[in-house]
Amino acid sequence: MLSNIELKRHEKRKLLFKKIEDSRALMIQTALREGFTSLNVLKMSQDLDLLLNEFRNN
């Protein structure tokens, strides 16, 4: 059985994973619409990198 701390950590990771999936999908949609080298896509890619780093470090 998970402790409260472990349960909160697990829920946080699930929410973060969902945020990563959503960000990735939006970035791909934007890239298809604006081009893969657009400034919007570059910013989204950098934001996604931050989310992935956070996921990896937690």
Answer whether 0.85 is exceeded by the pTM. yes
Q: pLDDT tens across 1-38, in order? A: 778 888 899 999 999 999 999 999 999 999 999 999 99
CA distance 51 to 26: 14
Dihedral sign computed on CA atoms, order 39, 44, 45, 46: positive
Q: What is the pLDDT of residue 58?
A: 83
Identify the burial level of 16 via C-beta atoms within 10 angstroms of its C-beta, where 0-12 means exposed, 13-18 middle and 19 or more buried. middle
Take residue 13 and report the two structure tokens written for it. Answer: 């990771």
Q: What is the pLDDT of residue 29?
A: 98
